[in-house]
Amino acid sequence: MSTTLQLFMICAEVLYFVLIFTFLKKKTLSLKYTFLWLFAGIVMLIFTIFPMLFVNLIKLCGVTSIMNGLFALCIFFIIIILMSLTSIVSKQTDRIRTLTQENAILEKRLRELEEKDK
């Protein structure tokens, strides 16, 4: 890996962390769902600072081209993050459903009580 590329990567990763922390500070991202992003960022940072670590790891996995290895790693992280998002959405759908049902049952109870009052 050339030094220029390394510097560029480090700059990009710093920007990435700054973005995440800005969002965290503004509370538009909750920390609970950001851990995966942070983890992915840290792994990428380690690999940019110590490229040989990455190259050796990739060779171990049988990938010959470094760039391909890098892409594979990126795609891996993206898929994991997407999966976690789908799981969050599913959980929230479930919660919204329960809320809707409870709310509707309460609304019925309220309606009945109001009618009794009349």
Measured from the CB of residue 111, what is the shortest distance to another protein in angstroms? 9
Task: Determine the Cα–Cα distance for residues 103 and 43; give it in Å rounded to an integer.
Answer: 45
CA-derived radius of gyration, the chain: 24
The candidate with the shortest Cα–Cα distance to 40, out of 88, 77, 79, 85, is 77
Within 53-112, which residues bind another protein (CB under 8 A)? 96-97, 100-105, 107-108
Which residue, 87 or 101, has its beta carbon nearer to another protein? Answer: 101
Measured from the CB of residue 95, what is the shortest distance to another protein in angstroms? 12
Which residue, 61 or 104, has its beta carbon nearer to another protein? Answer: 104
